[in-house]
């Protein structure tokens, strides 16, 4: 069962930042926080992951709360191609035992 809670849907305007929240109040010390996204009719795509510290890569930033009970995926400038379902997943010891939840469906308006 998924151990994360995300809003069902969010909307954003093109070229504006998007903050996608994820609650994981029962996270354990060995759980890594992973984000994937799934564009329409495609397989999921890795976005970013972290353990305790905030992380940045070319796609996004991941802000992790100090108590690690929540995290936020930040898309700095949303484009129409960022419209997708975004999944926040906890993975124990970073082992590949992924359980997807329902995710957040992001709509980007021009």
Partner 1 sequence: NAGVMQNPRHLVRRRGQEARLRCSPMKGHSHVYWYRQLPEEGLKFMVYLQKENIIDESGMPKERFSAEFPKEGPSILRIQQVVRGDSAAYFCASSPIGQGEQYFGPGTRLTVT
23 sits near partner 1 (criterion: CB under 8 A): no
Strand bridging mode 31-38 / 55-56:
unpaired
Taking the C-alpha atoms of residue 76 and residue 15, their distance in angstroms, rounded to an integer, is 8
Query: Do 5 and 102 meet the contact criterion of CB atoms below 8 Å apart?
Result: no
Q: Pick between residue 60 and residue 85 the one whose CB is nearest to partner 1.
A: 85
Binding to partner 1 by CB under 8 A, coded x per residue (else -) over 37-76, reads -x---xxxxx--x---------------------------
Query: Do 94 and 82 meet the contact criterion of CB atoms below 8 Å apart?
Result: no
CB of 95 to partner 1, least distance (A): 6
Using CB under 8 A, which of 51, 65, 80, 102 touches partner 1? 102
100 sits near partner 1 (criterion: CB under 8 A): yes
Taking the C-alpha atoms of residue 40 and residue 95, their distance in angstroms, rounded to an integer, is 27
Q: Which residues bind partner 1 (CB under 8 A)?
A: 38, 42-46, 49, 85, 87, 93-103
């Amino acid at each position: 069962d998924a151990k994360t809670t995300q809003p069902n849907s969010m909307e954003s305007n093109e070229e504006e930042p998007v903050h996608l929240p994820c609650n994981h109040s029962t996270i354990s010390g060995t759980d890594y926080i992973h984000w994937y996204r799934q564009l329409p009719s495609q397989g999921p795509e890795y976005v970013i992951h972290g353990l305790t510290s905030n992380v940045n890569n070319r796609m996004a930033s991941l802000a992790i709360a100090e108590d690690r009970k929540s995290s936020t995926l930040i898309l700095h400038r949303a484009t129409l191609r960022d419209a997708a379902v975004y999944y926040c997943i906890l993975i124990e010891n970073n082992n590949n035992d992924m359980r997807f939840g329902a995710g957040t469906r992001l709509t980007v308006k021009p």
